[in-house]
Structure 1
Amino acid sequence: MTRHLKMYINGEWVASSSETTVNVIDPATQEVIAVASNTTKEETEEAIKTAKRTFESGVWSDLLPQERASVLRKIAEKMEDNENTLIDLEVQNNGKTKREADSDVQDAINCFRYYADLLNTTSDQTYEASEDLQTLIVKEPIGTAGLIVPWNFPLLMSVWKIAPALAAGNTIILKPAEITPLTAVKLFELMDETDLPKGVANLILGLGSEAGQTISESKDVDIVSFTGSTAVGRHIMKAATGNMKKVSLEMGGKSPNIIFDDADLDTAVDYALFGIYMGAGQVCTSGSRILVQEGIYDKFVKNYIERAKAIKVGPGHDENAEMGAIVSQKHLENILEYVQIGKEEGAHLALGGSKIKSGELEKGLFFEPTIFTNVTNDMRIVQEEIFGPIVTIQKFKDEDDAIKTANDTDYGLAGAVFSKDQNKALRLIKKIRAGITWVNTYHLTDEQAPWGGYKQSGIGRSLGTYGLDEYQETKQININLAPEPIHWFE
């Protein structure tokens, strides 16, 4: 029997009155595994009102930081007790490999614990502004937070927003991507088993164009935090102007991976593969543009193609699978469209470019690791985010050429440099206009480090102390230590 998903509002699981639904599928089989209702505008507004009312009651925001930290740790413990279930749901609903899902779940657990520990430190300041004036700088919760998360990391992206928002003392309304809600639903089931007060965390389901729009426009929402495409991010930013709410946006990327002649070739090839094919390229920080210095270009391309040919594509539950499925038929068609665009632009399709239609993979949404060479920076496949297992490989002459090419894009999310010359690598990495960068590695990061981009890759930062700051207001309190008339007007 197909599972029908419910909303979670004011501590209760509630069925939507909407007659329209979204089928939740397993990308590896295209079988329907659940059905989610498109939450109505009125239901979304009710969730928002609940969150606002709960915030104003102080039942969560007035707790001591240590008390909120205790709840966050309990959520982490519940997740740890149910990690296999969370992994299986992520594999089934998103199509990623079990190894990737395992990593995501562990990172999500660590994220809750990180923010619980962070609450034991203080960011308040005090100083003497003058002889009789004491000034305090304190951080307070913003209020009601609308959290909109994407389909590529359904659980982890939810936690990256939920953990700091709750740690800061806010109440939340979470809207997961309509096609990947299963781990968010399970997470709320686990949160419901803790002593998190009713109304603090609310979950709505449905389309971004409806539920997400309502959150973005609402004057009762004090911050909207969104991760997804740049196009949708722009729309949310416009919608949020109604009450000038704070906006935190982590959006698209077209990240350069610069490889110099003096780089260790095996290491560079290995990380360049990981940079694009991890998550089947459905990762905002993917190294989708490989820039190789002309001295090793031919050798790099040859080695890279041979390695890419050997990648084992398969369903996430297959322990040997190295790259999983594309999340949806709609997205697979978008990827195919970009393959055709690349061909029409004159790029050379060196590998792949097709949906896999053989054997047990035929019924699923599996795509070949794909490589384009003979590309130029004005091509759409170089400039636009494809969000799939497609990489372009370009040649460059020297440092100036590498940086000019790397920064010639509207995006600025991530980038990497590979070189045995650490001085050169550091010199180049400082010139890359991006918020997340690596030297002789790719994708590896930690919840303590800020996450976000330059230019059209976003506004604000997730994770680390910066992530907590996103959900706080800063207030100054001035105390007169010797009150007496000021005699300003005589």
Structure 2
Amino acid sequence: MQEYRMLIGGEWVGAETGDWIESVNPFDGKAWARIPRAGPGDVRRAASEARRAFLDPSWSRLTASARGHLLMKLADLIAEHSDQLARLETTDNGKLINEMSSQLRYLPQWFRYFGGLADKIQGSVIPIDKPGVFNFTRHEPLGVIAAITPWNSPLLLAGWKLAPALAAGNTVVWKPSEFSSVSALAFARLFELVGFPRGVVNVVTGYGSEIGEALVSDPAIAKVAFTGGDQTGQRVYQTAASGIKPVTLELGGKSANIVFDDADLDNAIKGVVSGIFAASGQTCIAGSRALVQRSIYREFTRRLIEFAATAKIGNPLDTSTQVGPVTTRPQYDKVLSYIQIAKDEGAKCLLGGQTPQRPDLEDGWFVEPTIFGDVRPDMRIAQEEVFGPVLAVIAFEDEDDAIRIANDTIYGLAAGVWTKSMRRALLASEKLEAGTVWVNTYRAVSYMSPFGGYKRSGIGRESGIEAINEYLQTKSVWIDVNEPVPDPFVMR
């Protein structure tokens, strides 16, 4: 049993209570590591240390270029340790080693990109309409950022928050999911190796139900950046609002992958499979609804089933595996419950719908790739986020019908469009209520492009130039050179 400790104020510590949480490998259902079970006292200490570090000259007086250089060095270290970190993530959350390795090899780009932006944060001189007055703006860090990250892509999604937050000059208290904290604690050691001042990055581990509110409501926290489910996001938002704190929320989705009758069907089938069965459907951008034009519905569904049925289920550390386990036992139970709900509502199970009957998988939390046909847009399977390898296939008549069905949810994170028509592509990209629209591709992300949701899928944007503005505040500075001072009883 490997044992990991939290990073608070530059020290590696256990929880004040001495309590621990066992981390379980989703592949075999066995505990393999222990992480501290932090309490409110640990959170208060971490927030206090982060605030102290924010004000300390070793960080606050560091030039923007020097901050950027630290992030660049960190990027190099991440690349150097990417294989080790990927194996930790796969062991901890059960996602494919191929997927985790790809994410960890790409993650350094976020730190390089925002490291390069650190000294490009510029104010402006305003040609103010008042004679003898000089006015300019400064963009300054907010203070201590609470970064709360999920279990499905722990380090990648943490990087989306940490890189811009640190580039802007903030300090951080990072709370990873209790289901996937090991890689976060291993990752945190890299900040020490690079030479970040102590307390700039702090990591606390524990149950969200026990320390989440304490973290969000702590007076030292200036902003909350959260990725997770929309119900939890709502509670985070409400708690932050009581302290008038800004938030960035990247929440759930029920994304539509729309296949028109002029699409390249081979590519569209691969895109639909990628959208829902890659990562076992455990991604906020999962294309969990396949909207297929009625004229090709039968042919497309038949070919989709044939292709999806070839997916290899197995050990996520095996590079030939294509579908791994569900990360947590509660999520596993939830996915199976939604499969039953879909059957009860009259959807037709065309593929999967159960756990694989194999001795080598019986101890893990596996669900077969599952496809439902004859799905109505009002069914729960078409409206609610399952977060598992479960696809709802819905027929549509024409472009207007496709857009209406796609937009008819509380979510608006992403959408896919498969067509050879540029007109259709542009029309759909304009009318779809989603923060990201992919045309003839799916699950593509970049450190250069903003990411976020419409409606209940979130607030704010991550990645791209826009992201760094989420971690800055603007100050307006007025300098009056007039002599003498004008009438003090009249507003200038």
Which TM-score band applies after superposition, normalised by the shorter structure? Answer: over 0.9
Match of 1:153 in 2: 153
Distance 1:58 1:254 in 2: 46
Aligned residues: percent identity? 38
Match of 1:447 in 2: 447
Distance 1:403 1:257 in 2: 11
| Local SS of the residue matching 1:473 | strand
Cα distance per residue 1:367-401 (max 9 Å; x no partner): 11000111111111110000000010000001111
How far is 1:132 from its partner?
A: 2.7
Distance 1:14 1:416 in 2: 45
Match of 1:216 in 2: 216
| Local SS of the residue matching 1:291 | strand
Match of 1:254 in 2: 254
Match of 1:350 in 2: 350
| Local SS of the residue matching 1:222 | strand
Cα distance per residue 1:319-377 (max 9 Å; x no partner): 21112221022211110000000011010011101122304222222211000111111
Q: Which runs of 5+ in 1 are unaligned?
A: none
Match of 2:374 in 1: 374
Match of 2:278 in 1: 278
Distance 1:65 1:357 in 2: 56
One-letter amino acid matched to 1:337: S
Residues 489/139 of structure 1: CA separation in 2 closer, same or farther (3 Å cut): closer
Match of 1:57 in 2: 56
Residues 325/483 of structure 1: CA separation in 2 closer, same or farther (3 Å cut): farther
| Local SS of the residue matching 1:119 | helix
Maintained 8 Å contact 1:416/1:437:
yes
One-letter amino acid matched to 1:95: G
How far is 1:247 from its partner?
A: 1.1
How far is 1:116 from its partner?
A: 0.5
One-letter amino acid matched to 2:328: S
Cα distance per residue 1:24-48 (max 9 Å; x no partner): 0111111211112210111111111
How far is 1:484 from its partner?
A: 3.1
Cα distance per residue 1:409-428 (max 9 Å; x no partner): 00000001111001111101
Match of 2:201 in 1: 201
How far is 1:184 from its partner?
A: 0.5
Cα distance per residue 1:138-168 (max 9 Å; x no partner): 2100001111000000111111111111111
Residues 488/47 of structure 1: CA separation in 2 closer, same or farther (3 Å cut): closer
The answer on 1:325 being equivalent to 2:325 is yes
How far is 1:19 from its partner?
A: 4.8
Match of 1:91 in 2: 90
Q: Which runs of 5+ in 2 are unaligned?
A: none
Maintained 8 Å contact 1:145/1:221:
yes
Maintained 8 Å contact 2:368/2:389:
yes
| Local SS of the residue matching 2:423 | helix
Distance 2:56 2:327 in 1: 40
Match of 1:236 in 2: 236
Distance 1:19 1:488 in 2: 61
Please give the TM-score of this superposition, normalised by the length of structure 1.
Answer: 0.97
How far is 1:137 from its partner?
A: 2.0
Maintained 8 Å contact 1:175/1:211:
no
One-letter amino acid matched to 1:339: I
Listed as ranges, the matches of 1:282-361 within 5 Å are: 282-361=282-361
Deviates more, 1:351-360 or 1:252-261: 351-360
Match of 1:101 in 2: 100
Distance 2:5 2:125 in 1: 47
Maintained 8 Å contact 2:287/2:415:
yes
One-letter amino acid matched to 2:24: I
Match of 2:34 in 1: 35
Distance 2:483 2:421 in 1: 63
Maintained 8 Å contact 1:61/1:141:
no
One-letter amino acid matched to 2:284: C
Cα distance per residue 1:194-247 (max 9 Å; x no partner): 210011111100011122111111122100111000000011111112321111
Maintained 8 Å contact 2:40/2:210:
yes
Maintained 8 Å contact 1:219/1:242:
no
Distance 1:247 1:309 in 2: 42
Maintained 8 Å contact 2:35/2:182:
no
Listed as ranges, the matches of 1:64-75 within 5 Å are: 64-75=63-74
Listed as ranges, the matches of 1:379-458 within 5 Å are: 379-458=379-458
Cα distance per residue 1:424-463 (max 9 Å; x no partner): 1110121000101111111112111111101000111111
How far is 1:488 from its partner?
A: 5.1
Distance 2:482 2:127 in 1: 13
Distance 2:93 2:429 in 1: 33
Deviates more, 1:330-339 or 1:59-68: 59-68
Maintained 8 Å contact 1:132/1:482:
yes
Residues 483/64 of structure 1: CA separation in 2 closer, same or farther (3 Å cut): farther
Residues 489/360 of structure 1: CA separation in 2 closer, same or farther (3 Å cut): closer
Match of 2:137 in 1: 137
Please give the TM-score of this superposition, normalised by the length of structure 2.
Answer: 0.97
